[in-house]
Amino acid sequence: MAILQAYLDNSATTRPSEGVIEAMAECMRKGFYNPSSLYAPAMESEQAMRRCRERIARALMVKPGEIFFTSGGTEANNLAILGSVAAMRGKGHLVVSSVEHPSVLQPFEALKAQGYKVSLIPVDEKGQIVWAELENILQDPPALVSCMQVNNETGAMPDLDRLIQCVRSASPQALIHVDGVQGFLRLPFDARKVDLYTLSSHKIHGPKGVGALYVKSGVRLVPRQMGGGQENAVRSGTENTPGIAGLMRAIEEMEAHTGRVQDLYALKGKFWALVQREAPEAVLNGPEIDQGAPHILNISFPGVRGEVMLHALEGVGVYCSTGSACSSKKRKLSPVLLNMGLDAGLAEGALRFSLSIHTTDEEIEYAAGQIGMLYAQLKRFRRR
């Protein structure tokens, strides 16, 4: 009898579909040519890449020439932040949400060490911007503001329309960057409202190692990577054509499952109801079920360390995480949860569960049952 499993760590990475795998294999078999070469087969590879660029642009309501391929979300975020700041005159005021992904926060920390003024936007217990504090921050007009579309740990969705309005009123020339890694194709977004937008392939059932950055026409970036001048000299290096082929197929499949994305809210709600039934002491962190993104829940299990619960669940085939996969091995409390004002004890017992369009009812039912059984066992050993 097969061991039941439930993969609920889709914010860390998603399983590539068979269609994505086949598209990549076909590209490696027949479309392996360098897209910068001038003979016909290579130009076909360049055209395939152009079609993917057009598909991304259509999804974001922007122009294909404003889309640049990267190696993933981290590089795209670094290029957006460090590249745009390097093109600015002087050391202006930089503003960033306090609950961003490390690939956003760390570039700002590096800029602060170089003498830039960096202000952190505080959030409340639901992960929403504290607007009065933002208004105070904007008294010193910023040159760049960065805020994610969907928080990768809690699923909180900042009111970006209000943020954009506040920033444009205070500093019309400021650049606005949105990390859309967890939001792209799960939530509609008109990227024309902002100046820079990041996405990553492996969060939407595409391959790892490929992502993209939207750069509004007229926004200047100093490249972080130099060489052959690919991607209009914004990001040199031979493009990952098999990865881009996989990304193209992933986008097609995600767009074909638009209704399923909306169904995730129901699945998420069902999962939380089952967890509450099986483990009544569990605490939902961040936004209410219907207020956050459709695929992310952050749940604390008081009295049991998240890492202990994670490995217990791993033993029965339930896979989740203690927070951002990019920092989960550092064994520290989540800065995101702490910056939301969460009690340290609850932060220590927090786990992130993230769904996908392929998550089944059977998976969440199995996971909830195992959560209840294991939590009942483990909480008996809670520290006094």
- Residue whose token pair is 């059977």: 362
159 within 8 A of 178, measured Cβ to Cβ: no
CA neighbor of 95 nearest in space, from 1, 28, 19, 158:
158
What is the distance between the alpha carbons of residues 68 and 235, in angstroms, rounded to a whole number? 7
Based on the residue annotation, tell me whether 326 is a catalytic residue of this protein: yes
Distances (CA, A) of 152 to 101, 157, 280: 7, 10, 25
CA neighbor of 272 nearest in space, from 8, 71, 4:
8
What is the distance between the alpha carbons of residues 268 and 270, in angstroms, rounded to a whole number? 5
- Backbone phi, psi, residue 145, to 5°: -130, 135
Q: DSSP per residue over 256-313, as a string?
A: HTHHHHHHHHHHHHHHHHHHHHH-TT-EEESS-TTTS-TTEEEEE-TTS-HHHHHHHH
Which residues fall within 8 angstroms of residue 7, CB to CB, at 6 or more apart? 15, 319, 359, 363
CB neighbourhood size of 177 (10 A): 26
Q: Catalytic residue among 27, 52, 147, 326, which?
A: 326
Q: Which residues pair with 9 in a beta bridge?
A: 354
Which residues fall within 8 angstroms of residue 51, CB to CB, at 6 or more apart? 248
Residues with a catalytic annotation lie at: 326
